[in-house]
Amino acid sequence: MARVTQAHLDARREDILEAAQNLFLNRGFNNVTMQDIATEAGISAGAIYRYYPGKDELVHAYLERCVGGGPAALVREIAPEAPPLKRLIAIASAVQGMWLESSGDQIISDIQTKMAGIRQPDDIGPMVRDAREQLFDALIEIIEAGQRAGEIDPKFNARALAMSLNAWVAGIGVEALESGEEQLEEQLEQMFGVLIEILNRLGPAADGAA
């Protein structure tokens, strides 16, 4: 099987990572053996080691992929011309759509990544934190634009609001998963509904008038 094109090799590497991904998503890193991954990828266990030096690196590659592509890019892409508040709402809807499409897989990979970044001396931590900062920056930009446009109360600390909204969205994902996959759509609908309703209440005069 020699003299295979680089494309084929890349595809194989990708196959392995995808096989690992499928298993990691459903069983967690520790409950997946190299043999499991090999079987899922349709190769022998030893073959994996041509593509990844060891299990750690495979896990790392998986986490890297989860972080990579990154939500920051997504945030910037969604409705870039719409008014700030509309953009935030559009982003929330986009996240909801993605989660639904992947049947919750993305939610799990997201939380796995977060857990890997917590209390671990791994080098995954910095990567996660970096992606988070970029995401925050993108959100802060929108929020500040909203504040300048009078759509969002300037009394909000933009960064705190960005973090809190991000936390909220993440929390919604986990919460929705908890009720089981059959109800995923309905639960997301309800919780994102509340979130969007509340986004509409971020304006300045809201409680100031009371």
Partner DNA sequence: CATGAATGAGGTTTCATTCAT
Partner DNA sequence: GATGAATGAAACCTCATTCAT
Residues that bind DNA (CB under 7 A): 1-4, 9, 12, 31-35, 38, 43-47, 49-51, 53-56
The residues near 119 (Cβ < 8 Å, ≥ 6 apart) are none
Residue 111 binds a copy of itself, judged by CB under 8 A: yes
How many other CB atoms are found less than 10 A from the CB of residue 138? 20
Footprint of a copy of itself on 13-42 (CB under 8 A): 26, 28-31
* Pairwise CA distance, residues 188 & 32, whole Å: 29
Q: In whole angstroms, how close is the CB of 110 to DNA at the nearest point? A: 23
Tracing tokens 């300048």 back to the chain, one arrives at 148
| Residue linked to tokens 């870039």 | 80
User: Is 86 exposed, middle or buried, given 0-12, 13-18 or 19+ CB atoms closer than 10 A?
Assistant: middle
Q: Could you tell which of DNA, a copy of itself, none binds residue 45, using a CB distance below 5 to 8 A set by kind?
A: DNA
From CA 43, how far away is CA 29, in angstroms rounded?
Answer: 19
State in angstroms the smallest separation of the CB of 8 from DNA.
Answer: 7
Residue 195 interacts, among a copy of itself, DNA, none and using kind-specific CB cut-offs from 5 to 8 Å, with a copy of itself
Crossing angle of helices 158-178 and 184-199, in 10° steps, is 160
Count residues near a copy of itself (CB under 8 A): 56
Q: What's CA 138's distance to the chain center, in Å?
A: 15
Which entry of DNA, a copy of itself, none binds 84, CB below 5 to 8 A by partner kind? none
44 binds a copy of itself (CB under 8 A): yes
Residue of 7, 118, 123, 182 that binds a copy of itself (CB under 8 A): 118
Q: Is the dihedral of CA 6, 9, 13, 18 positive or negative?
A: positive
> Judged by CB under 8 A, does residue 169 bind a copy of itself?
yes
The residues binding a copy of itself (CB under 8 A) are 2, 26, 28-31, 44, 46, 108, 111, 114-115, 117-119, 128-129, 132, 155-157, 159-161, 163-172, 174-179, 181, 187, 190-191, 193-195, 197-198, 200-203, 206-207, 210
